[in-house]
Amino acid sequence: MGVITERAGPGVREWLTAAARGLPLALVSIVCGIALFVAAVLSIAFVPLGVGLLTTPAVLSGVRSYARWRRALAADWGGTAIPDPYRPRPARMRPGIAGRVEHCVLLLRDPATWRDLQWLLVDAVAGFLLALLPAALTLYGPYGTVVAAGLWRAMEGDWFLFVPLTSQSNALLAMGVGWCLTASAPYAAPRLMRAGLRLTRALLAPTREMALRRRVDRLYETRHDAVDTSSAELRRIERDLHDGAQARLVAMGMSLGAIEALIEKDPQQARRLVAQARQNSAEALTELRDLVRGIHPPVLAERGLGDAVRALALRTRLPVEVAVDLPGRFEDPVEAAAYFAVSEVLTNAAKHAGADRVWLDVGYRGDTGALRITVVDDGHGGADPAGGSGLAGVERRLGTFDGILAVSSPPGGPTTVTMEIPCTPVGPARGGTGPRPAARG
């Protein structure tokens, strides 16, 4: 099969692939579909008796595992991922039987549970036929040839589709019908397989109401994260002002008072205090500039995201190759979120990754309407957003804008961090945004 499909054209390869995949999928669909559907219905029916409260969570977990496998199979064969529609399980549940009962109630209240059961029944009938037909169409021709070669005598009185096997001429007619069906297989088999995948997607993908509910839950969660982040940022600014610039300004005021008292009595000491006050004012100004840069970097406000990330790359200890392709400026909060996210990822690469080089790509995808940032380093890998490396904070920052963070960091590297923020350009760029030569930290 491998040699044939390699030498054959794309259409023949797709046909043979559909036939080879369809037969085992049909068997799985009818066996697993009916078995899980019957087990789930019986378990739910026994809920009023109390037994179902204990068995239903296990049975429905099996149904969800099977549905997830079929989603993954559809994504692998059809090229389109199907997200899970299930409501998240609460982080804390009561222990023991009370927790199992609570879990059972939550499963039965989830609309996705009933859609899974509906899909099991439909897949065991329509899905079974759509998966079986590619293989059946392919085999009808050879089967008809065997029938016409003499097998019809042992099958006399039976039917080959709509042809009664009563004579040699009818057997030859059956062979012709079989090869007509096989001749249609290269055209029909891939389409039948795709129809089965579309059926799976239609019944297992989240509905519009489910997607809106999940989006509302996500926005509700990120709103709290944004409030917490804003409160923490305000406390940081207050602390930095109190411990830094404010303390230096107070010291400078005291020095000026002492200078006023000493300027006639001890001019030499007054000059020393003037020099100290000038130093305090310079240090206070530096700290204020650093504080303002931490709130909204001036280069970001003046030049836009492209030049701001280039400036970040120049300040990074590692060599950073930067490629920027942006159509213009974005809303200030979006640019700030992207800037600080890039800053955190570059800092992680320099401190923890053991990398020798970093590649940074910033672009805007018009087809998805999202700002896309990719950071790749050649370090040792192993980065985990849940491991306290700062990526969890980046994820929360992006979540405020309904953005996403994807991390691929196998042991041994490389590490690829991809960030996307849905947004639209609001104006032309003030600085250059096209690709420039590599920046070196």
Enumerate domains of the chain plus CATH numbers.
Answer: 2-204 (no CATH), 210-295 (1.20.5), 299-440 (3.30.565.10)
- Residue pLDDT tens, the chain, 441 long: 444 444 444 567 877 787 888 888 889 899 998 999 999 999 888 888 877 888 888 899 899 999 999 888 888 887 777 777 887 776 666 666 777 777 788 888 888 889 889 999 998 988 888 888 888 888 777 877 777 777 767 776 677 677 777 777 777 887 787 788 778 878 888 888 888 888 888 888 877 776 666 666 666 665 655 555 555 656 656 665 655 566 666 667 777 777 777 777 777 887 777 787 777 777 667 666 665 555 567 777 788 888 888 888 888 888 889 999 888 888 888 888 888 888 888 888 888 777 888 899 999 988 788 899 999 988 887 776 665 556 777 877 787 777 888 888 888 878 888 999 888 888 665 544 444 434 443
Q: What angle do CA 23, 26, 30 make, to 5 degrees?
A: 150
Tokens of 61: 């977990």
**pTM exceeds 0.95 for this model:** no
Instruction: Decide: 15 and 133 in contact? Cβ < 8 Å.
Output: no
pLDDT value at residue 3? 40
Q: What is d(CA 287, CA 312) in angstroms, rounded to the nearest whole number?
A: 19
Which residues contact residue 219 at a Cβ distance below 8 angstroms, ignoring those fewer than 6 apart?
402
Q: What is d(CA 248, CA 52) in angstroms, rounded to the nearest whole number?
A: 71
Which residue from 278, 279, 274, 281 is spatially nearest to 258, judged by alpha carbons? 274
pLDDT value at residue 317? 80
Q: What is d(CA 267, CA 276) in angstroms, rounded to the nearest whole number?
A: 14
Q: Is 231 exposed, middle or buried (0-12, 13-18, 19+ CB in 10 A)?
A: exposed
Q: What is d(CA 123, CA 140) in angstroms, rounded to the nearest whole number?
A: 24
Per residue in 301-319, pLDDT tens? 788 888 888 888 888 888 8
Q: What is d(CA 179, CA 146) in angstroms, rounded to the nearest whole number?
A: 12
Q: What is d(CA 142, CA 262) in angstroms, rounded to the nearest whole number?
A: 113
pLDDT value at residue 441? 39
Q: Is 392 exposed, middle or buried (0-12, 13-18, 19+ CB in 10 A)?
A: middle
Instruction: Tell me if residue 260 falls in helix, strand or coil.
Output: helix
Tokens of 169: 């001429």
pLDDT value at residue 360? 92
